[in-house]
Every structure is written in structure tokens, then in C-alpha cells.
Amino acid sequence: MPRLLAFDTSTEHLSVAVRHGERLFTHSGAGGAQASSTLIPLILQLLAEAGLELAALDAIAFGRGPGSFTGLRTACSVAQGLAFGAGVPLLPVDTLLAVAEEARHAFGARQVVAVLDARMDQLYAARYDFDGGGALGGADSEPLLLAPEALEVPAGWSLAGNAFAAYGPRLAPAAARHEVLPTATAMLRLAPALLAAGRTVDAAHAWPLYVRDKVAQTTDERAAIKAAALAGPPVANQS
């Protein structure tokens, strides 16, 4: 059993976990703006509880994205700093894969469309099939950025993530829904297959996966969205 550290700060939730043999040490709590100041102390605390030094780790897994720009930069920079100092390889994990794995583990979902709220009236989304793709879900596509109404969920597939409160019935209303987040424990469950697939990188080659190339809407974009919402759906032509 590999000795592993994993953490994710891609959402407003911070998740850290350490595996040492059969023992698992975890922390979860508020993330967001606090993550940059609390992540390293939490990592050191869990490593101390596990009786592990950084250099004794086989790999450090981190949520590479997509997700919050600030959260992804925090996770990647902390992972790089720890890896450089300890000489440990990094294991970047797609946050949407971690969402799908959490739905598989918690609810038995085998075919999952994973979604994360991207704000700005958009979602990050990807499909994972644990029946046809093995332990890593065999992603059907690269992560996408799209409007809630544009998301397609195949019949019989489940929807999993954190976007349901924000988008409600706009988001595949007929699909089964599982409210889950990308957790560090999900990354630890994925890690053996990722390690076997040779997915580790050295610290110099670890990068966030942003998907979106802009952080915020312009004033004109916000005004257009507000005007469209106030106008309501288009009225069918009766002629």
C-alpha cells in the first residue's frame, strides 16, 4: 500500500488526506480564501498524526482542476513546493474524475456525468464510465465548459457534483443526482490505478487544469445575462 498525501482546494471545500499502510488520516472543512493559509499547517498536522515525513511519501496527489482559479493555484503551488523540498513525485488528479469516484464509492454510480459549478452561469463537466473504463472511469471526453441547459446526460447515467443548488431544473432534470465534491479520499482511492498508469510528474511539470481562460464576466456580459433573465423565455410566434 503506497504512502500518499492528497489534497483538493478546487471548490469552497478543503479536503486533505494521508494514507500510511492501512491507516487513513483525513481533514475536511471550509476552503476558499482560507485555503492558502491553512493548507500547509493541516498537511503537516496529518503527516505528524500518521507518523510520516514528507520524504517518506511515495507520491503527493492534488486536485489539478477544473475549479476555482485561486484554489487550483493554491493546490498546485503547495504541491510543487512540497515535492521540490522532499524529492517526491506529484500525482495530478482531475477534479471531475474525483467527483465521479466519490459518486461511485458513496452511491454505487457506475456511469457518471460529473459536474462542478464554474460560476458565470456555466458548468465544468465530463463523463466517466466505470463499467467500460475500469478503475479510472475511462473519461469519454476532456472536461468541458458549458451552459447548464447544454449538458447532455445519457439515459441511465447519473449526475454528480455541486451544481444542483445553483442551477436547479435547468440541469438535466430527469437524471438521478448525487451531491458530492472532489475529496482527497476519492483521490487516494484513484491513486493506485493512476500510479500504475504512470501518471506521476515531477514538480516542474505540474500545472493546473483551468479549462476556462477568464476569471470574471465583464460589466456588459453581466448586464446581458440579467436582462435575459428578466425578459423570460421567448414567446412562440402565433402567426
SS3 of 107-142: the string is: HCCCEEEEEEEEECCEEEEEEEECCCCHHHCCCCCC
CA distance 94 to 109: 18
CA distance 11 to 30: 9
Per-residue pLDDT band at 213 (split at 50, 70, 90) = low
CA distance 118 to 11: 10
Phi and psi at residue 24, to the nearest 5°: -125, 130
SS3 content of the chain, % helix, strand, coil (to 5): 40, 25, 35
Per-residue pLDDT band at 61 (split at 50, 70, 90) = very high
Query: Strand 111-119 to strand 158-161: parallel, antiparallel, or no bridges (unpaired)?
Result: parallel
> What pLDDT was estimated at residue 141?
72
Reply yes or no on whether the pLDDT at 206 is more than 80: yes
> What pLDDT was estimated at residue 237?
42
CA distance 215 to 206: 21
Mean pLDDT of 18-45: 91
Average pLDDT, the chain: 89
Tell me the three cell numbers of residue 52: 510520516
- Distance in Å from the first CA to the final CA of the chain: 70
CA angle 76, 118, 90 (to 5 degrees): 20
Per-residue pLDDT band at 31 (split at 50, 70, 90) = confident
Of 99, 94, 141, 149, give the one whose Cα is nearest residue 121.
149
Per-residue pLDDT reduced to its tens digit, 90-134: 999 999 999 999 999 999 999 999 999 999 999 999 999 999 888
Per-residue pLDDT reduced to its tens digit, 147-179: 999 999 999 999 999 999 999 999 999 999 999
Per-residue pLDDT band at 142 (split at 50, 70, 90) = confident
